[in-house]
A and B are shown apart, each in its own frame.
Chain A
Amino acid sequence: MFKQIWRKTLFDQKISLLIWIISLMAMSLLVMFMFPAISEQGDAMDQMMAAFPTEMIELFYGGAVESVTSPIGWLNVELYGLLIPFTLIIYGIGNGTYTIAGEEKNKTLELLVTSPISRIRLALEKYFALILGMLAILFSLTAFMSIFNGFFELDVKPITFFVGGVEVFTLALFYTSIGFALGTATGNRGLSMGITYAITIFSYLWNGFGGLIESIESTTNLSPFYHYSGLESQGSGVNLVEVIVVFLLSISFVMISIAIFNKRDIGT
Chain B
Amino acid sequence: MSSVIKIENLTKYYGKVKALSSLNLDVDEGEIYAFIGPNGAGKSTTIRILLGMLNPTEGFVEVLGEIPSQKNIVHLFDNIGYLPGELATYEKLTGRETIKFFGNLKHVSDWSYIESLIERLDFDSTRKTKDLSKGNKQKLGLILALMNKPKLLVLDEPTSGLDPLMQQTSIDLLKEIQQNGTTIFLSSHIFSEIDKVAETVGFIKEGELIVEDELDTLKANAVKSLSIEFKHPIPEDLFKDSTNIQIVESKDTSVTINVTGPVDDVIKKISQFEVVDLLSEEASLEDVFMNYYGSN
Residue of A nearest to B86 (CB): A107
A116–B88 CB distance below 8 A: no
B100–A2 CB distance below 8 A: yes
Indicate if B251 sits at the interface (CB-CB under 8 A).
no
Interface string of A117-147 (1 = CB under 8 A from B): 1111000000000000000000000000000
A116–B101 CB distance below 8 A: no
Indicate if A214 sits at the interface (CB-CB under 8 A).
no
Indicate if A218 sits at the interface (CB-CB under 8 A).
no
A114–B77 CB distance below 8 A: yes
Within 8 A of B (CB), among A149-200: none
Which residues on the A side are within 8 Å of B124 (C-beta)? Answer: none
A113–B86 CB distance below 8 A: no
A119–B70 CB distance below 8 A: yes
B90–A12 CB distance below 8 A: yes
Determine the interface band of chain A, counting residues with CB < 8 A from chain B. 20 to 34
Which residues on the A side are within 8 Å of B144 (C-beta)? Answer: 111
Contact among B74, B88, B97, B104 with A107 in the assembled complex (CB-CB below 8 Å): B88
B105–A262 CB distance below 8 A: no
Residue of B nearest to A115 (CB): B105
B: which residues have CB within 8 A of A? 14, 48, 51-55, 70, 73-78, 80, 82, 84, 86-90, 92, 97, 100-102, 104-107, 144
Q: Report if A114-B80 is in contact (Cβ < 8 Å); known contacts: A2-B100, A8-B101, A265-B54.
A: yes
Contacts A111-B87, A265-B55, A268-B14 known; list 7 others, CB within 8 Å. Answer: A111-B144, A116-B73, A117-B77, A119-B73, A262-B70, A265-B53, A268-B54
In the complex, A208 Cα to B91 Cα: how many Å? 43
The list of the 6 closest CB pairs from A to B, nearest first, reads A107-B88, A2-B101, A116-B77, A115-B105, A266-B53, A114-B82
Nearest CB of B to A15, in Å: 9
B106–A110 CB distance below 8 A: no
In the complex, A113 Cα to B144 Cα: how many Å? 14
Contact among B14, B84, B97, B100 with A111 in the assembled complex (CB-CB below 8 Å): B84
A113–B105 CB distance below 8 A: no
Which residues on the B side are within 8 Å of A120 (C-beta)? Answer: 70
Q: Report if A116-B107 is in contact (Cβ < 8 Å); known contacts: A12-B90, A267-B53.
A: yes
Which residues on the A side are within 8 Å of B52 (C-beta)? Answer: 113-114
Which residues on the B side are within 8 Å of A2 (C-beta)? Answer: 97, 100-101, 104
Which residues on the A side are within 8 Å of B74 (C-beta)? Answer: 116-118
Indicate if A106 sits at the interface (CB-CB under 8 A).
yes
Indicate if A252 sits at the interface (CB-CB under 8 A).
no
A116–B78 CB distance below 8 A: yes
Which residues on the A side are within 8 Å of B55 (C-beta)? Answer: 263-265
Contact among B75, B80, B92, B104 with A3 in the assembled complex (CB-CB below 8 Å): B104
A107–B84 CB distance below 8 A: yes
Interface centre among A4, A264, A268 (most CB of B within 10 A): A268
Which residues on the A side are within 8 Å of B104 (C-beta)? Answer: 2-4
- Could you list 5 A-B pairs, sorted by A, with CB under 8 Å? A12-B90, A12-B92, A107-B84, A111-B144, A265-B55
Interface centre among A106, A110, A111, A113 (most CB of B within 10 A): A111
Indicate if A108 sits at the interface (CB-CB under 8 A).
yes
In the complex, A4 Cα to B102 Cα: how many Å? 10
Q: Report if A116-B106 is in contact (Cβ < 8 Å); known contacts: A2-B97, A2-B101, A111-B144.
A: yes
Interface string of A232-252 (1 = CB under 8 A from B): 000000000000000000000
Which residues on the A side are within 8 Å of B90 (C-beta)? Answer: 8, 12, 108
